[in-house]
Structure 1
Amino acid sequence: MPHVQEPKLIAGNANQPLAQAIARRMSMHRGKKMGLVEARVERFNDGEIFVEVYENVRGEDMYIIQPTSNPANDNLMELLIMCDALRRSSAARITAVIPYFGYARQDRRTKARTPISAKLVANMLVSAGVERVLTMDLHAAQIQGFFDIPVDNLYASPIFALDIANQFRDRLDDLMIVSPDVGGVARARELAKRLNAPLSIVDKRREKPGEIAEMTVIGNVKGKVALIVDDMCDTAGTLCKAAEVLMENGAKEVHSYISHGVMSGPAVERVTKSVMKSLVITDTIAPTKAILDAPNIRVVPTAPIFAQAILNIWNGTSVSSLFEQDTLGPIYDGMYAAE
């Protein structure tokens, strides 16, 4: 493998602001300007995607920053075609930085004659030439096993823990971490351990997809500041209903911390009108103007952790060190300094 001088970043159209923020953070760490590789990623009139890379990438360690968020199929095809362009241009190594991994909810066969689309996407990425994947909060941890290449799965929980310790510094003893369903208990428990807070669960039963029949709170939330923790918020129906049920069960306040703000359809309007005092999401998916203008939605940055993870991969050092708040705190430059 040729000697690699510097890591090089290239981005699709899915989340240009995050890609530029990662490049700025890496410039700061490296003490030299690191911009995005110049490229043209556009569509023909019939919707076909075309990619042209303007810089020489022969022998370079390339990082493609592209979440596969809405429109998922277009963004996925952009990622695959960019990878093919780099591979055919003799890049030494191609890492797909996928802050939000689309199709992750289709990680198993829920009934007869259904696909496992997450596995199909994994196969497509490897076939296109991806040699490593860097992502955040996969919907299901076993998706890492769908790949026969290294997968680094970052977690939003240490970032959330820093934010919570800052936002609720005077009320840490009143906090109750809440999982909105039984499937998310491991994620919620991990954050509860970081904050030394108790854990509660909202058990939901569906009669059909998208429709919630009944919700039951497991655990005593009376007088507590409830923090709902989940990996994604799509239409926000379940989230807003869970907040109502928690308030009905005596919670003093309800806030939510969600890794990926998919925020489809009526999601922003629902959150704005809900009993939730705040919804905190990351910028793994580019926030829309409606999200940025919403009075009770706040976006926390992921560029610092992604920039450091890319540098660690390039240097051959530990990525798992970023799972600890002690390591992550300095990376966030005192943004969440404890008082």
Structure 2
Amino acid sequence: MRKTKVFSGSSHPELAALIIDKLGVGAAPATVKRFPNRETSIEIGTSVRDQDVFIIQSGSATINDHIMELMIMINACKTSSASRVTAVIPYFPYGKQSKQKKTRGAITAKLIANMLATAGVDHIITMDLHSSVIQGFFDRPVDNLLAEPSIAKYIKEHIPDYTDGVIVAKNAGGAKRVTSLADRLKIGFAMIQKEHQISSNESSEKSTVVGDVKGKVCFIVDDIIDGPGSFLKAANVLAEHEAKRIYIIATHGILSNDSLDIIEQSPAVHKIIVTNTYPLTQEKKEKSTKLEIIDISGVLVEAIRRTHNGESISYLFDNAM
């Protein structure tokens, strides 16, 4: 790739290394320093004048430090006369805060978009935004890639009896994502529905399954898994309805605190499958016997290559790389 520089932020070096290795360009040098007062300083170690620059930086457990690091790196490249700066953000931070939930709440995802624009970013490449409205927060191109083709490929290659399976939404909000994956795999779908019951002046909530799951392989699908609570509730309901085997699948495996330990102890869950958009520590990965990770670096590599060459990326919405 001619006249291109690819930089790695420090949030997800493992994924950045995979992308840079597949691109075959070598990582452009940049030095990140943190002062005792936690301020960040970045020095770009090569000329970027008139270059097409890509900066790989995902959301992470130290989210605010890494957001600031990305802003500084973008600005450093722009003020050093880069022709274009593309931020490759596999997991877009603050994506869940894309609307005002309380009277005096902030739309933080829009704030992040404004900060990126002010830093000087020209283009965003991300994956499975929590809400599609986030694309509208930018006045510059945003390519929202899909993990669905890679997830579908993994299911086909690693779960032989998936054809006797059902894609399950743990609530009504996930119905669109679930039906899309079900259509791609040509299998059925179901949904967990909550029913409020009132008896003897007491209110209770009961979960039921809309769809046939008895004796079937069930895949509970969502874009993000942070805490496991809602996933495990759905898994327990499916187990009560005699599901054959239950998988949890999510694009962004944040899995905060002891989430993996809790899933490990759940008899209802057979496996948890996530992509590598979000960095997980080696300790977390080694502690779990149920965790499977799908590598989506190939999709990001192809998006970068096509962006650099001015080609359409629509092919990536239907095909795994």
Question: Which residue of structure 2 aligns with residue 244 of structure 1?
Answer: 236
**SS of 1:25's equivalent?**
helix
Question: Which residue of structure 2 aligns with residue 17 of structure 1?
Answer: 14
Q: Is the 8 Å Cα contact of residues 20 and 35 (structure 1) preserved in structure 2? A: no
Question: Which residue of structure 2 aligns with residue 316 of structure 1?
Answer: 310
The amino acid that maps onto 2:19 is I
Corresponding residue to 1:203 among 188, 193, 207: 193
Q: 1:221 and 1:9, CA in 2 relative to 1: closer, same or farther beyond 3 A?
A: same
Q: Is the 8 Å Cα contact of residues 280 and 297 (structure 1) preserved in structure 2? A: yes
Separation of aligned partners in 2, 1:307 and 1:151:
16
Could you tell me which runs of 5 or more consecutive residues in structure 2 were left unpaired when the two chains were aligned: 197-203
Aligned-residue CA RMSD (Å): 1.6
Corresponding residue to 2:212 among 214, 220, 235: 220
Corresponding residue to 1:100 among 68, 91, 98: 91
Corresponding residue to 1:6 among 3, 6, 14: 3
Q: 1:43 and 1:269, CA in 2 relative to 1: closer, same or farther beyond 3 A?
A: same
**SS of 1:17's equivalent?**
helix
Question: Which residue of structure 2 aligns with residue 141 of structure 1?
Answer: 132
Q: 1:97 and 1:230, CA in 2 relative to 1: closer, same or farther beyond 3 A?
A: same
**SS of 2:251's equivalent?**
strand
Question: Which residue of structure 1 aligns with residue 269 of structure 2?
Answer: 276
The amino acid that maps onto 1:318 is S
- How far the C-alpha of 1:219 sits from its partner, in A, is 1.4
Matched, 1:128 2:119: yes
- How far the C-alpha of 1:69 sits from its partner, in A, is 2.1
Q: Once the two structures are superposed, what CA deviation does each residue of 1:202-233 show, in whole Å capped at 9, x if it has no partner?
A: 23589xxxxx9653322121111000111111
- How far the C-alpha of 1:173 sits from its partner, in A, is 2.8
Could you tell me which runs of 5 or more consecutive residues in structure 1 were left unpaired when the two chains were aligned: 28-33, 207-211, 332-339
The amino acid that maps onto 1:134 is I
The amino acid that maps onto 2:257 is G
Separation of aligned partners in 1, 2:78 and 2:206:
51
Aligned residues: 312
Q: How does 1:1-339 map to 2 (within 5 A)?
A: 5-27=2-24, 34-169=25-160, 171-204=161-194, 214-274=206-266, 275-293=268-286, 294-325=288-319, 328=320, 331=321
Q: Is the 8 Å Cα contact of residues 54 and 86 (structure 2) preserved in structure 1? A: yes
Q: 1:182 and 1:35, CA in 2 relative to 1: closer, same or farther beyond 3 A?
A: same
Q: Is the 8 Å Cα contact of residues 97 and 135 (structure 1) preserved in structure 2? A: yes
- How far the C-alpha of 1:135 sits from its partner, in A, is 0.2
- How far the C-alpha of 1:85 sits from its partner, in A, is 0.7
TM-score (norm. length: structure 1): 0.89
Question: Which residue of structure 2 aligns with residue 30 of structure 1?
Answer: none
Q: Once the two structures are superposed, what CA deviation does each residue of 1:141-194 show, in whole Å capped at 9, x if it has no partner?
A: 11111111100001111001000111123x133110011221111111111110
Q: Is the 8 Å Cα contact of residues 240 and 270 (structure 1) preserved in structure 2? A: no
Q: 1:151 and 1:214, CA in 2 relative to 1: closer, same or farther beyond 3 A?
A: farther
Q: Is the 8 Å Cα contact of residues 14 and 75 (structure 1) preserved in structure 2? A: yes
TM-score (norm. length: structure 2): 0.94
Separation of aligned partners in 2, 1:47 and 1:223:
54
Q: Is the 8 Å Cα contact of residues 69 and 101 (structure 1) preserved in structure 2? A: no
